[in-house]
Each structure stands twice: as structure tokens, then as C-alpha cells.
Amino acid sequence: MAADLPRYRYNATLADTIEVKWQDHWESNGTFEAPNPAGPLAEPDKVAGRPKLFVLDMFPYPSGAGLHVGHPLGYIGTDVFARYKRMTGYNVLHSLGYDSFGLPAEQHAIATGIHPRVNTESNIANMRRQLRRLGLGHDARRSISTTDEAYYRWTQWIFLQIFGSWYDESRKKARPISELEAEYAQGTRTTPDGRAWATLNRNDSGRFSQTKK
């Protein structure tokens, strides 16, 4: 009976062999790596004036031990789109990262004694393995995790810049609040209700109120 079976009968074993072979090939040849015109990842010859396209997938939440069926449901759609655009001549950057840990990771730490970062990084490693086995065309070099200090230090910095700024309608741009306060104090700008800046003080809420006499 074995001699009657086709040599290359398509079954789970053959499918696994084919998939792993091509996944290894894509990784070793940088098939899905998007070249940059400049910078550390510069490959201007490969850019070759092609139109560019950025495709960003929703970041999976690494508080769980692995992906669920809802992840590939979305990722396969963007992968098909990105591959089509790449085949029609676009320089496609298709990337994906990993979201920050939250309450589930903290509860896991309480229950097991494992630090949230250790657990989260372990989950991310497992998700990377699963995503690779799905054969998706992400540029692995551009992958980030929002738990990385090198990432969130800049999100915190951006927040502080926004928090400490106001929008100047006359100049049509944001400016530091310290400059606004200086203009009020110097009298070069009047307060909205016309009161003198020197008569105002900060109350417990951080807002300005009229000084009591």
C-alpha cells in the first residue's frame, strides 16, 4: 500500500517542510526588509525611486502567553495588501511591534512572583516565533516593544513637550508656556479678562485666581 501513495502527498509534514524552508529563505535573504534612502539602514540602490508605502499592524498585547485567532485574522489582510503593493513596484515597509504590559501582567506577577518584564519578554519571544511560522512579511528590523526604555522615554518626552506648551494663534505654532507667562508678566500680552498678571496667583488646583486682599 505504501508504494501506491504519491511521493509528494500533501499532508501536514510536507506543508511544514515547505513553509519552514521558505520562511528560512525570506529571513536569510531579507526579503521583507524595506531599504532606506539614508541612515543606518540605507540602501539607496534598492530604493531606486520606487513609490513608498507604510503598512503598520495593530500591536499584539503581550500580557497573554501567545497569539489568539483574532490576531492573524487582521494580520493576514494587511499581509496580502502589502505583498500585492510590493509586487506592483512599491517599496513597502510592513512593520509590527508589541504593546506595553498592563494589569494582566501585574496580576500574573502577584500570582507567580515573576517580574512583569520577565513575563512580558517571554511572551513577546513566543509571539515572534508564532508570527514567523505564519509567514507574514514584516520587516523584523523595525519591530519595537513599547516596554523598551529606549522607546517610552521618548513618548514621555513628547508628552512633556505638549504638556508644557500652548498654541499661539498669531504665530500659528506651539510655544513654551514659560514664554506666555513672561509676556503676561511683562505686560506685552493682556490676560483674557484684562486683569493684571501680578494680581493673579495659583490656587491648589494649579489654576490662576485673583489674589485675595
Q: Which tens digit of pLDDT belongs to each residue from 195-204?
A: 888 888 765 4
Question: How far apart are the C-alpha atoms of 67 and 136, rounded to whole Å?
Answer: 14
Helix, strand or coil for residue 106? Answer: helix
Q: Which tens digit of pLDDT belongs to each residue from 126-138?
A: 999 999 999 999 9
Question: How far apart are the C-alpha atoms of 12 and 185, rounded to whole Å?
Answer: 76
pLDDT higher than 50, residue 10? yes
pLDDT of residue 107: 85
Q: Which tens digit of pLDDT belongs to each residue from 118-169?
A: 988 999 999 999 999 999 999 999 999 998 999 999 999 999 999 999 999 9
Q: Mention the CATH class of domain 12-148.
A: alpha beta
Q: Which tens digit of pLDDT belongs to each residue from 41-94?
A: 999 999 989 999 999 999 998 887 889 888 999 999 999 999 999 999 999 999
Residue ranges per structural domain of the chain: 12-148, 164-204
DSSP string, 165-188: EEEETTTTEEEEHHHHHHHHHHTS
Burial class for 48, CB neighbours closer than 10 Å (0-12, 13-18, 19+)? exposed
Band of residue 3 on the pLDDT scale cut at 50, 70, 90:
low
Cell of 163: 504638556
Band of residue 2 on the pLDDT scale cut at 50, 70, 90:
low
